[in-house]
Structure formats: structure tokens, C-alpha cells
Structure 1
Amino acid sequence: MHEASPLEHYRQLAASGEAIRRENYRALVTSYYELVTDLYMSGWGESHHFAPLSPDGALADAVVARQRFLADRAGLRPGMKALDVGSGVGGPALNIAAHSGAHVTGLDLSPRRVAHARRRARESTLRTQCDFLEGDAMCMPFPDNSFDVAYAFEAICHTADKDRVHAEVARVLKPGGLSIGYEWLAADGLSADEVHRLIEPICRGHAMPHLATPSGLTRQLRDAGFVDVVVGDAEATGDLTAAWDLLDRMADAGEAVDDSPLMLFMCQGARALTRAARQGAFLVEFWEARKPGTPAG
């Protein structure tokens, strides 16, 4: 009898529909990153998010510039404590800690990615400035009022209950603390057919139980008790057209040199993103929101 491969197991789970993906989000996300982490790092480095690209600029420089922008916008500085929600292999946390002087704690669901981030921290000069914990953003292992800033780079989209995540962020932030970041979203007002054709392939290809919308994210933040909510700052988000072009070129190159099932799966996922983005159905949007109260000191 044929035994399903890890990729086949993942694809079966991802294709089971939103309700099943939500119920089994932990297996969905951790099995996905067991499969793709090495390819992510070989193609995108150690910061797995998008950023505006200049015509002659390097991807590595662009993602670091994105991280520094967020750190500066959040006002991070020495003596502050930041939480990286969905910290991955640790690239953004290490870069933000080095840039800002703040202490950064990373939280991620994937044991493999947490292990890599811890190793990178130990090997760097930031070993006392960064911690990485395995844990669930829907049930954070931190006391109330622990952090000055909580941020995420395109990570909350992997969670099953985004309302709970934002409520947990509000709980662990200090009074006056800031929630800030970038998120994968489906455009508001899509038809059922557009969701099926354009958004569902993204969810299946990238371990997403479902995608929120800009209006949904705004409601989630407000329901969590945040004020001064901003979703969709054009200057902060930037133009990602060149990033979609790069992703298509990377998919072309990947298929040309490697016809393995995993590479073909990754290339299909990349093209699902660029197709939906170019049709305006898929968005990467900036957000920020503040917890009511006056910061201590």
C-alpha cells in the first residue's frame, strides 16, 4: 500500500476546507514549515516577508529596511520590550533588536523555526537581547502587561482565530503599548467565486486557515480594545509590484532546475499569490493600534 508522503499529508489537510484547517491549524502550520523552511531560507533569506523593491536594489536590503521602518515607527529604543508574533527563523527579531536596542522576544508555533532562531541568537552578539519561545499566538505564555510593543510580519494570517490573537496581544501589552505590523489579507467585497479562485489557492498553498479582510482586521483590533486604529497606510505598505515580479521569476527559475513535487508545490503557491495580488484580491497591508492607557515612566 502506498504511504502518503509528508507533502501529500499536508496537501490533503490543506484541501479539506476552511473549517478543517481551523480545527487542525497547529498540524497545518507546523507540517508546512517542516516542508518549506529550507527552501524559504535558500530563496528569501531569514526574513520571510515581502517589501517594496527598487529596480537595482537587493531583496535582503529591502526586507531589512522594512524592519527598520517598523521599529522606528513603533518608537523602539533601549530599555523597551517587544514581542515578535510569529517570529519564524528569527531574522526580523535579530535585525530589529540590533537596530533599536530593544529586547525582542519571538513567539512561533513551529519547533523547527524556533530552534533555528535560538541557534542564530546564540551565534550572534544579541544572545542576551533576543529570546525565542515555541508557543501559540492564540494563547500566549506571557503575563499581562509584559511588552511595550507587539509586532508581526505577515504571520497572524496563519492563525485560526484572529480575534483571539489580537485580544492576546492587547492583554500582554502594557497600557499605552502599540500593536503594529503587516498582514496578508483578502480584499473586501470579493465574490464567492473570487474567493474560491484567488484566495483559496493561497490558503492551501501557504498554510492559512483563512484570510481576514481590511475591514475584518479593523474590527478585530477595535473589538480587542485598541484605539487609534490604522489599517492600510499607503506609505507604510509601499508598492509591492516589483516583489510580485521577483516572485514570478523565482518560480520560473525553480521549475527550470527542480521538478520535484515540493518545488512544484512551492512554485504553484508563489503564482497563486502573484495572480491574486495583480487582480487586487490579495493584499499585504500595514496596521497599527494602541492599547488605551498611559505608559509607565
Structure 2
Amino acid sequence: MLLFRYEKYHGYYGGKQEDRDANYTDMVNKYYDLATSFYEFGWGESFHFAHRWKGESLRESIKRHEHFLALQLGLKPGQKVLDVGCGIGGPLREIARFSSTSVTGLNNNEYQISRGKELNRIAGVDKTCDFVKADFMKMPIPDNTFDAVYAIEATCHAPDAYGCYKEIYRVLKPGQCFAAYEWCMTDAFDPNNQEHQKIKAEVEIGDGLPDIRSTTKCLEALKQAGFEIIWEKDLAKESPVPWYEPLDKNNFSLSSFRLTAVGRFFTRNMVKALEFVGLAPKGSLRVQDFLEKAAEGLVEGGKKEIFTPMYFFLVRKPLSDDN
């Protein structure tokens, strides 16, 4: 039943774009209720891609990707930092330990927050890091609260980039920075190309997205929200190892076996068996299926260079806030 309520929002099942935008909170919550356990099993605690060097493991690249973000923000011990759309808090814990900062994770999914709190306790950061259950379009946070804000492949869930960035601008202290990795369609994406549209739709339904914006639209929204652009670049173009390689069925890796074609085959059959005997919720196999479809879309989008999961930007809120 939960799966049906999620699927109804998407074009694959007759859903309309305006309904996806209007009901994004419900849609994203249903998506993560369904998909979080699968993500954690296959990906670990950090649900994101990474710029990756040859000879570097996926896990090493993910940690370095998070450290790079902390360094770009110039984080200093004792600062208060906001992680927008924090998932179960993998990056939150890594960045807090790396920079000796206090990180608050903002998330609107109850299951992910409860899981994140338990992992914080296990990691020993529960005294300095916490979570706020809230919609990042309407944060229950006072103006000028945080010394830095970041988002990792999360604000792509927002139905309106300007509205989301404007809220981030509001809670950030003047003179301080916001950095993010955004999921975007690149300039190579052709909206009139049916194959491009199919790939975009596969990524959207498989990853709980209302609509994937272009890099240009994100940049325009940041400026409209009042931010000063320090620098921005699609870091996927500079990755020596393709970012989508862990999902490519032609790739085999012992270090990320569960993401390979063989590993996914075993996972699918394990889920099928567990659902059959009642140890996995009904609909688990269909969740696995649409995650597989998303993986296919991501790989094709990456190979055709029409999609990037790491459009990076570093922006600053001016010292004089005239907005």
C-alpha cells in the first residue's frame, strides 16, 4: 500500500508534474520509508556519490568527498553547522569528527532520524550532533543561526530551488558560506530527446525526485536568493573514475560487491525469499525493482553526460543583508 501511494505521483504511473511538486513532502517521505534500508545495505551510512581517484575505494572516496566539503567551508572547531537533508547522518558524523564542529541534521523523515540518532550514539557524537525533524522549505530555525550550511545530494528533492535556497540563506549568519553537491541535468540534456527524457524519468521515480533541474537553473536560484557565488563546477567531469561505476553492471569490485550485478542478483533473490516467508515487508521486491531502474537511469545519464550528481557550488551570504 505504501509503495502504491509513492508510485501514484510519477509519470510512469499516470502522475502529473504539478502533483509531484505540490506533494513533494509526502512523496519524499514515502520514498525514504521504502528505500532507506536498501540504501544502507548497499551503500553504507552516506547515501551519495563521490569524485574518485584511481586506486581509491568507494568508501575512501566518499569520506574524502565529505572532507573536501568541510575544507571548502573553512569549518573551525566549535562552529554550529547545518546539514540540510541529512539522511541517516553519515556525512554529519564524518564532518563533525573531521572538523570538531557541532552539526545539526535537518530531515523530514521520522525513520531516518531515529536511525541517525542511534548511529550518533554508537559513534559517540550524540552530545555535539543532533537532528531536527522539519521541511527544508520551512525550517523552524531562527534567522542567522548557523556558521555554515551544507547539503549533499539532498536539495534536489525541493520542488522550488529558490524557495529552498532562500530558507538556507535566512538561517545562515551574514558573511558565512553554504556549499552543496546538487543533482542536475547538464547542458547536454535535450528536453526534446525521448531517450534523454526516459533516463530523466527513471532517475526521478527511482530516487524520489519531483523534477531534476539544470545546473543553470540552480545557479540562477542561488543568485536570486541573495548569495554571492564564490565558485561552482560540475566535479563529475573531473573524476578519474566515473562516478557511476559502482552502479554499472559491467563493473565488478570486491570492495563494493553488493552494488555489482552479481551482488544485486543475490540481493534481489534474498529480498524475494524474505518477502515470501514474511520476514521482509510486502512490496520489498518492487522497491528493489524500481531502485534497479534508477540505477540504470543514473548509469546511462552519466555515460551520456546529461546528468550529474555533483554539481558543486560554494556561495556566501553577504555581510550586509539587504534581502
1:74 & 1:233 partners in 2: Cα distance? 18
1:264 & 1:133 partners in 2: Cα distance? 31
Q: CA deviation at 1:181?
A: 1.2
| Letter paired with 1:243 | W
State the SS of the aligned residue for 1:175. Answer: strand
Asked whether the equivalents of residues 154 and 182 of structure 1 are also in contact (C-alpha less than 8 Å), the reply is: yes
| 1:81 equivalenced with 2:80 (yes/no) | yes
| Correspondence list, 1:206-217, <5 A | 206-217=207-218
Structure 2 counterpart of 1:223? 224
| Correspondence list, 1:278-289, <5 A | 278-284=303-309, 285-289=311-315
Structure 2 counterpart of 1:67? 66
| Correspondence list, 1:127-206, <5 A | 127-188=126-187, 190-194=190-194, 195-206=196-207
| Letter paired with 1:226 | F
Asked whether the equivalents of residues 53 and 241 of structure 2 are also in contact (C-alpha less than 8 Å), the reply is: no
Structure 2 counterpart of 1:8? 4
Q: How many pairs align? A: 290
| 1:261 equivalenced with 2:300 (yes/no) | no
Asked whether the equivalents of residues 205 and 268 of structure 1 are also in contact (C-alpha less than 8 Å), the reply is: yes
Asked whether the equivalents of residues 198 and 275 of structure 1 are also in contact (C-alpha less than 8 Å), the reply is: yes
Asked whether the equivalents of residues 117 and 130 of structure 2 are also in contact (C-alpha less than 8 Å), the reply is: yes
Asked whether the equivalents of residues 255 and 263 of structure 1 are also in contact (C-alpha less than 8 Å), the reply is: no
Asked whether the equivalents of residues 157 and 184 of structure 1 are also in contact (C-alpha less than 8 Å), the reply is: yes
TM-score under structure 2 normalisation?
0.84
Q: CA deviation at 1:263?
A: 1.8
Q: CA deviation at 1:255?
A: 4.6
1:152 & 1:246 partners in 2: Cα distance? 22
Change (3 A) 1:148 1:205: same
TM-score under structure 1 normalisation?
0.91
Structure 2 counterpart of 1:292? 318
Query: Which sections of structure 1, spanning at least 5 residues, go unmatched?
Result: none
Q: Name the Cα RMSD after superposition.
A: 2.0
Among all aligned residue pairs of Structure 1 and Structure 2, give the percentage whose two residues are the same amino acid: 32
Q: CA deviation at 1:231?
A: 2.5
State the SS of the aligned residue for 2:124. Answer: coil
After the TM superposition, list the runs of 4 or more consecutive aligned residues in structure 1 that deviate by more than 6 angstroms: none
2:240 & 2:159 partners in 1: Cα distance? 26
Moved more, 106-115 or 258-267: 258-267
Change (3 A) 1:55 1:26: same
State the SS of the aligned residue for 2:178. Answer: strand
Asked whether the equivalents of residues 166 and 221 of structure 1 are also in contact (C-alpha less than 8 Å), the reply is: yes
1:253 & 1:23 partners in 2: Cα distance? 39
Asked whether the equivalents of residues 227 and 317 of structure 2 are also in contact (C-alpha less than 8 Å), the reply is: yes
Q: CA deviation at 1:167?
A: 0.2
Asked whether the equivalents of residues 226 and 317 of structure 2 are also in contact (C-alpha less than 8 Å), the reply is: yes
2:3 & 2:229 partners in 1: Cα distance? 43
State the SS of the aligned residue for 1:209. Answer: coil
Query: Which sections of structure 2, spanning at least 5 residues, go unmatched?
Result: 250-258, 270-284
